Structure 1
Amino acid sequence: MYTSSSDSDEQPLSPKRLFGRERPLHQILGGGKVADILLWKNKNLSAAILIVFTLIWFLFEVVEYNFITLLCHIAIIIMLIMFIWSTGAGFVDWSPPDFHAITVSEATFRWLFAKINWLLMKFYDISSGKDLTTFFLAITFLWILSVIGTSFSSMNLLYIGFLSSATLPALYERYQCEVDHLLSQGNRDVKKLYKKFDSQILNKIPRGPVKEKKRF
């Protein structure tokens, strides 16, 4: 039995994963605590971080709080709490605050500097022009981001970026089958549309004779 090409196009296709990924999304995001936070493995911690960033955005953009003023007020509140805590420990059966509980470990700085060095190396590799496609995509992305930056304040732009990174990975992991199916369907529709455009318009454009190159 003869099967037309249009019938074969309607056959169900296996959905392709977003960006052609082969590894799980948790591994792509690093597989550590950051990936757990972005994918809401620890819902309390992820929600707390989202609330804190939302509060910071509200103070700066809505209330129009000054950054230096906010830091000073936070430091004053922390100092008052520490003072009451340390002073009250002598009158009430309290344990004084532990200094090591409020210090930042060296491993945190090592991880931060490692990520910064990784970004600098990526920036150098892309800028060197070894992969022209990635180079032009990076230039285009930065240009689009600069255009968007003229329409939003820096704080709004950072908050939108954080909100997207804190919600979209978790939503995609939860509904990845539906998203991959829609993307595969959209990819197939775009290919069919391009084939139709190519056959009905591009192939009908007259072209001059192709001259053969002279051989030396």
Structure 2
Amino acid sequence: MGDSDSSRRSVHHALGGGAVADILLWKKWYPSAALLVGSTALWFLLEVAGYNLLSFISNVLLLLVVILFCWAKSASLLNRPLPPLPNLELSEATVAKAADEMRVQVNYALSVAHDIAIGGNLKLFTQVTIGLWVVSYVGSFFNFISLVYFCTLLSLSVPVLYDRYQKTIDEKLGFVCNIAAEQCHKIDNKILQKIPLFSNDKKIQ
């Protein structure tokens, strides 16, 4: 029981430990279900019903503005409470945190590009190339809206499944990763042997 609780806490902590983690792990059913239903409805309207994204967003905002305006006017005439809107502004702390997180990600991407272009890191180059090829291959089967919806479904299913079956999944993934690492090592050695510089070094040694 203690191991199960600690593993669940680790998954929650890995996802940030905040409201986003609660939604992805379905700890609060209402926002998780609302995200699932809302994303499904949006995907249906844009992909199946054929609505244009820009027109859809404009119409939703127009409807929202009209409702809020009529609510405010009727509230002032009938002495009713105004729309319960929160304070609509971003704090400096929120903006600074988002900018700092973006800076970390951009610096990481730049460091990877530097290691490939300047450092000549063959292993990293192979990993990035395979990753981009997989993304390109998967993206050829979906348009942008369907891909975002697919990622949303994965976000609402994979973390909660991993949280429940973490031990079994870790065992299977460890076995697969060991096999993949062995195969990648063999491929890297074959590639290096075909490069004259590395093959000459090996002969000299």
How far apart in 2 are the matches of 1:125 and 1:78?
Answer: 44
Match of 1:97 in 2: 83
Could you tell me which of 148, 165, 169 is aligned with 1:175? 165
1:118-197 equivalences under 5 Å are 118-129=104-115, 132-183=122-173
Match of 1:59 in 2: 45
- Deviation of 1:52 (Å): 1.7
- Letter paired with 2:35: I
Match of 1:114 in 2: 100
Query: Kindly, what percent of the aligned residue pairs are identical?
Result: 31
Q: Which runs of 5+ in 2 are unaligned?
A: 1-6, 184-201
- Letter paired with 1:138: V
Match of 2:32 in 1: 46
CA distance change for structure 1 residues 110 and 56 in 2, over 3 Å: closer, same or farther? farther
Match of 1:27 in 2: 13
Task: With a CA cutoff of 8 Å and minimum separation of 6, indicate the structure with the bigger relative contact order.
Answer: 1
Instruction: Considering fraction of residues, name the structure with more helix.
Output: 2
State how many pairs are aligned. Answer: 173
Please state whether the residue corresponding to 1:128 is helix, strand or coil. Answer: helix
1:78-93 equivalences under 5 Å are 78-93=64-79
CA distance change for structure 1 residues 213 and 80 in 2, over 3 Å: closer, same or farther? closer
- Deviation of 1:178 (Å): 3.0
Matched, 1:68 2:54: yes
Please state whether the residue corresponding to 2:76 is helix, strand or coil. Answer: coil
- Deviation of 1:186 (Å): 6.0
CA distance change for structure 1 residues 77 and 61 in 2, over 3 Å: closer, same or farther? same
CA distance change for structure 1 residues 187 and 169 in 2, over 3 Å: closer, same or farther? same
- Letter paired with 2:148: L
RMSD of aligned residue pairs (Cα, Å): 3.1
